[in-house]
Structure 1
């Protein structure tokens, strides 16, 4: 049985700014974004793969498609691309289960074939759900689903939020801390081994 693949077009991937990522703070300039597009078009490295989360299953993590048609928007201030070759089941779940995304890339990448140093190349795109993305100003995939009239968006009647707010933002730290405690207690209760 052939696998049906989908394309999710015109997604914001990265914006110019200072962001607090997994490795600490980093600055993204218009030059970095232009470099990512040029490197993508030149085929310097393989197209950035799409995966679930950053840390997941390591090298056993499946590629759930790839990022295609990288381009600039907003006067060169935003990197935009399409998610291509995404299995239909995953594409259907993305707006609900993984409404946010987070890029992975290499700064000052030296091409071993040419010796050219690229200010930035895009290597992967992590789909994230519960984790808050570092780049807080991108449109959520929930918003994009509504824009294109996908069934998932039509079935979802909650409020759509931008990627900055698509991860849960509590009005106060005490409420967030309580929610984390409740979630932790539930995990402990359901993950206990009986009869060992």
Structure 2
């Protein structure tokens, strides 16, 4: 049974633990909170934004990063990428989901935590990724498909804003594909 609000997969819920320092500089737990999930595509996938930063390198002084994360979460305007920052997101994929082919203007690390996932690109056969495999996504058109007919898949993604990318004289901007209007644009390619 899901243990996080909005979670639709059968996986164990997640808890985010943020660390900090007490007045004498000792490491302490700042907060521990359950994941908050939002489902998309008729409940064929769900997102849990673990954490964001709004600048690079991150400013940890006076909890500036925590304040910035809370502000962007409360705004409800976070796109797939956070301009000038990072996003750590866990995504659960239902069995046999339809891949949403899209491009982010970002450098992303996608790590398979549970199940298997196919990475679908413009050219070539899908690449089957298994638990522990990592995709380094470099602002390419891509989609994620869970090929299982019965089992869910879970990936964690770390997205980092990147400089504008130009290939063959063409600027590679964000393209949300069929998710346009469903997901907020990142606005990091303007």
TM-score over 0.5 (shorter chain): no
TM-score normalized with structure 2 length: 0.29
Structure with the greater alpha carbon radius of gyration: 1
Larger proportion of helix: 1
TM-score normalized with structure 1 length: 0.29
